[in-house]
Amino acid sequence: MTILALAVTGVFAGILAGLLGVGGGIVIVPVLYFLFQGFGVSADSAMLVATATSLATIIPTSISSIRSHHRLGNVDIALFKRWTLFIFAGVLLGSWLVTRADGDWLTILFGIIATLAALNMLFRTGKPALFSELPHSGGQAIMGSSIGFFSAMVGIGGGTLSVPLLTLFNYPAHKAVGTAAAIGLIIALPGALVMLLLGVTPEDAPVGTFGLVNLIGFICIVPLTVLFAPVGARLAFDAGLLKKIFAVVLLFTGLRMLVQLA
């Protein structure tokens, strides 16, 4: 049953990623969080393992995404080079804190980010930018390090935070999405490694957990996510309507995670 549930998670995340262009982490983390609790894992441990496992699954999928976007010329290499060091520093700090943090605090943080992401999809999509251009180098350093820090702490790739943030500054949406794929790899690879090597496995962690990464979850989710992302991209649905539906589901998910700890 565990393997079946994890496989369904991979299919679901892949289809949504292809259909709506959302990052897998924003789907995988809450699914694993509630799934692990259903198998008797405490909410605290479930969030820690879900965060680390989600980052691990993003590594191969982001590599595939980078190749696709690079062929289309959508990866802003110059911006990526400027931001890499700051993102990397934020990821190291954020992932190290995960290995020391209480899972309940991570759940609160994810709930807040998920709620804000949902509200952004519902009310900001298609709206004009608030600023005419990206800030100066110091401002971009803060943006890059903050994206790395918060993304690593809640197990998501770069897209959930970087795409809406970049488009606020009048940055082309297609470039933001392509560059976010590259950002996702810089977040996921070091973040997952830190949590794998430095994380202390909780006593009630699911079977197959090493450090904070559940390798069974990784093995079950990744192939199906990669396989079903193109399927989602080919489905003939109204992506705009489905994005709004997903935003509503994400909003309730984020709020439920917050209410659960109230």
pLDDT at site 262: 62
CB-based burial of residue 100 (10 Å sphere; 0-12 exposed, 13-18 middle, 19+ buried)? exposed
Q: Say if strands 209-210 and 213-214 run parallel, antiparallel, or are unpaired.
A: antiparallel
Return the percentage of the chain with pLDDT > 90, whole number. Answer: 43
CB 45 within 8 A of CB 103: yes
Measure the CA–CA gap between 20 and 255, rounded to whole angstroms.
Answer: 21
Contact 186, 148 (CB under 8 A): yes
- DSSP annotation of 205: P
- The DSSP 8-state label assigned to residue 155 in this structure reads T
Kindly state the average pLDDT of the residues 11-34: 78
Q: Which residues pair with 209 in a beta bridge?
A: 214
**Domain boundary assignment for the chain:** 2-260
Residue 21 pLDDT: 58
Single out the residue of 12, 73, 45 nearest to residue 224, CA to CA: 12
Beta-ladder partners of 214: 209
Start-to-end CA distance of the chain, whole Å, equals 30
Residues belonging to the chain: 262
pLDDT in tens, 78-125: 999 999 999 999 999 999 999 998 888 999 999 999 999 889 888 877
User: What is the spatial distance between Cα 220 and Cα 113, in angstroms, rounded to a whole number?
Assistant: 26
Give how far the C-alpha of residue 32 lies from the chain's centroid of Cα atoms, to the nearest Å: 13
Could you tell me the maximum CA-CA distance found in the chain, to the nearest angstrom? 52
Is pLDDT above 80 for 163?
yes
C-alpha distances (whole Å) from 57 to each of 22, 50, 63, 130, 168 are: 14, 11, 11, 33, 28
> Cβ distance 108 to 261 under 8 Å?
yes
∠ CA 237-69-6, rounded to 5°: 60
Tell whether the model's pLDDT for residue 243 goes beyond 80: no
pLDDT, mean of residues 26-43:
90
Q: How far is CA 238 from CA 121, 248, 251, in A?
A: 15, 16, 20
